[in-house]
Amino acid sequence: MLHGKLRIHTCRVILLTSLVWFLVDVVILSFYSECIGGACKKSEDIKPGAEALADDLDNDYDQRQDERHDNKNIDSSKSELTKDIAGRVPATYKSTSLRRWRPAPSVLPVPGGAGEKGKAVHIPPEKEALMKEKFKLNQFNLLASDMISLNRSLTDVRLEGFFADIRYKLFGHCCRCKDKKYPKLLPTTSIVIVFHNEAWSTLLRTVWSVINRSPRPLLKEVILVDDASERGKKLENYVKTLPVPVFVLRTEKRSGLIRARLLGAKHVTGQVITFLDAHCECTEGWLEPLLARIVEDRRTVVCPIIDVISDETFEYITASDMTWGGFNWKLNFRWYRVPQREMDRRNGDRTAPLRTPTMAGGLFSIDKEYFYELGAYDEGMDIWGGENLEMSFRVWQCGGKLEIIPCSHVGHVFRDKSPYTFPGGVSKIVLHNAARVAEVWMDEWRDFYYAMNPGARNVPVGDISSRKALREKLKCKSFRWYLENVYPESQMPLDYYYLGDIRNVQTKNCLDTMGRKSGENLGMTYCHNLGGNQVFAYTKRQQIMSDDNCLDASSRTGPVKLVRCHGMGGNQAWVYDEVDKTIKHVNTGSCLTKPETTDVNLPLLKSCSYHEGQQWIMDSDFKWQANNHQDER
């Protein structure tokens, strides 16, 4: 009897103790599950929001620990602003020009409607043939899009921390996007959407999502610019029925994204221009966080997180808030993982604005006057491509800021193939545009672009004098400044000894990436003197790199692989000796050696014997970099 009571008592004690510990855990977790308000110093390893997108992105990008730079130059920009303000757009608005606003009401789901709450639409098998036929028109599932309401509901995708609710109730911390308070007064914006042969349903769903989810007082108008579509003109009649002023402008002949956007911008009467793509869906609360950043400082250019609308099912998939924009030697825009450096700057707060080196370019907001002061777009660029990098470099180098605002989400239909035509050929246009970016903004780092795209040297770059004059007039900083302060993680090495091909003394053949990916073997073949796959940079940090891959060996006898550069030395450190002409692997002391006859395309790693097969020449048409460290502004 007594025994039984004792047992029950013990059980109670154990239960109570576990309960207490559980509660303590909850409290601790609610503080540390996500770092907020600077309450925690240690930022934890955070998983990206959507694994689906993460696979698409370059998540294996390794951050370069030793290239950390403090952001002194960026942080001091505020004090600089007040200095060079004369004659330029003031940093803030007059409060009388701003508007009071209230959040737009939520769009409620229609029960049973296709794709409601951002869900996937599946086409029944009997309609599959029709679906495939329609897919070709726009390179997305048009049949699915046509089934979905123009006003479809979406789930609220804004970041919610684990235990955010408890934390909010217990401590009143503002810890999630939904609880953030934005200024009561904000500027108005005009939405500019450029399209070419866009589908009716995607274009109008974009427009409706803007109308439905923007605070009405802040939405001045929507400007649709039709860049010479070859499809009807019923749009004018339709937009007259909309509850917000919507205008349709048409270019007479195909003028390309850049010139069409300039045409749209010319008609903007709002204070801020918001550019959107024609197959987007804005989510709840998308606009306020963007305008709130601009109202603080008009020289901030802001982008939402670009979520994924599946081109197959039109499912709305949240993208990672842990990626930012970068670029490679070819000047392709790429997504990379946000480095720890930027997480630390934000005190681990994933809802805080993220400084991004570049933007994707389709979706962003910019103060209208600042847009023009900064030189709008380069009118010498054609159709599409490169304009996003051009604007990104210009913003940073000329005293602005470029940010991704994690509390603003807009979905975008990503396609595998572009459905557009490029008069004169895609590569020619893209190379022409990129060359203009390189020539005007990248200083000596333009050599990387030309080395990687040998065809670019033959594409006329056109007259760039007015863009160079703009750079002068705005007193823009150098590309070195940009690499040092904004994008130290870039694959453009800050300092390098050599850029060009690397040939073997005995075989006269050249190292060649063969276009292979990270993790694959380095190759070798006859020297073609065309750059591209035979271009390597030998950097001050002892890397031999080709775009974002570095020569890498993990044992004394190789193999020598191409591995994504990590910037930490180790297996990727090599020393070129100008006298004995060896390329020595620092970790193992072995030498890069010509291939054996068994595989003439496979360079090897062997112990050094200093014979001709281990001698390499780094001198081609490319120059050794003059290591001029001018003092930067």
3-state secondary structure 333-347: EEEEECCHHHHHHCC
Sites of contact with Mn ion (CB under 5 A): 277
**Residue 319 and residue 53: Cα distance in Å, rounded?**
6
Q: For the CB of residue 277, give the shortest distance to Mn ion in the complex, in Å.
A: 4
Q: For the CB of residue 594, give the shortest distance to Mn ion in the complex, in Å.
A: 47
Quick one: 233 or 415, whose CB is closer to Mn ion? 415
Per-position b or e across 554-591, b if 16+ CB within 10 A of its CB: eeeebebbbbbbbbeeebbbbebeeeebbbbbebbebb
Contact 259, 251 (CB under 8 A): yes
Quick one: 197 or 340, whose CB is closer to Mn ion? 197
Which position's Cβ is nearest Mn ion? 277
At 587, list the tokens: 């970790």
Phi-psi region of 181 (alpha: psi -120 to 50; beta: other; left: phi over 0): beta
Q: What is the largest CA-CA distance in the chain?
A: 100
Quick one: 94 or 417, whose CB is closer to Mn ion? 417
Closest CA to 403 of 327, 283, 318, 321: 321
**Residue 544 and residue 572: Cα distance in Å, rounded?**
8
Quick one: 136 or 169, whose CB is closer to Mn ion? 136
Cα 318 to its chain centre, rounded Å, is: 15
Q: For the CB of residue 414, give the shortest distance to Mn ion in the complex, in Å.
A: 7
Quick one: 140 or 479, whose CB is closer to Mn ion? 140
Per the listing, tokens 């004792």 go with 6
DSSP state of 358: B
Q: What is the CA radius of gyration of the chain?
A: 28
The neighbouring-strand residues paired with 205 are none
Q: Helix, strand, or coil here: 33? A: coil
Quick one: 392 or 534, whose CB is closer to Mn ion? 392
Per the listing, tokens 């620990």 go with 65
Q: Rounded to 5 degrees, what are φ and ψ at 188?
A: -85, 160
Q: For the CB of residue 204, give the shortest distance to Mn ion in the complex, in Å.
A: 16
Per the listing, tokens 């921390």 go with 161
The neighbouring-strand residues paired with 265 are none
Quick one: 276 or 440, whose CB is closer to Mn ion? 276
Quick one: 313 or 340, whose CB is closer to Mn ion? 313
Quick one: 277 or 390, whose CB is closer to Mn ion? 277
Quick one: 277 or 311, whose CB is closer to Mn ion? 277
Quick one: 226 or 277, whose CB is closer to Mn ion? 277
Quick one: 311 or 547, whose CB is closer to Mn ion? 311
Per the listing, tokens 């900064």 go with 374
Cα-Cα-Cα-Cα torsion 526, 531, 537, 538, nearest 10 degrees, comes to 40
Residue 180, exposed/middle/buried by CB under 10 A (0-12, 13-18, 19+)? Answer: middle
Q: Which helix (H) or strand (E) holds 617?
A: strand 616-617
**Residue 548 and residue 567: Cα distance in Å, rounded?**
11
Q: For the CB of residue 420, give the shortest distance to Mn ion in the complex, in Å.
A: 10
Contact 178, 285 (CB under 8 A): yes
Q: For the CB of residue 418, give the shortest distance to Mn ion in the complex, in Å.
A: 9
Residue 86, exposed/middle/buried by CB under 10 A (0-12, 13-18, 19+)? Answer: exposed
Quick one: 310 or 625, whose CB is closer to Mn ion? 310
3-state secondary structure 417-452: CCCCCCCCCHHHHHHHHHHHHHHHHCHHHHHHHHHH
Q: Rounded to 5 degrees, what are φ and ψ at 376?
A: 45, -115
Quick one: 273 or 308, whose CB is closer to Mn ion? 308
Cα 488 to its chain centre, rounded Å, is: 15
Q: For the CB of residue 279, give the shortest distance to Mn ion in the complex, in Å.
A: 6
Q: For the CB of residue 616, give the shortest distance to Mn ion in the complex, in Å.
A: 45
In Å, what is the CA distance from 530 to each residue of 386, 510, 526, 535? 23, 11, 11, 9
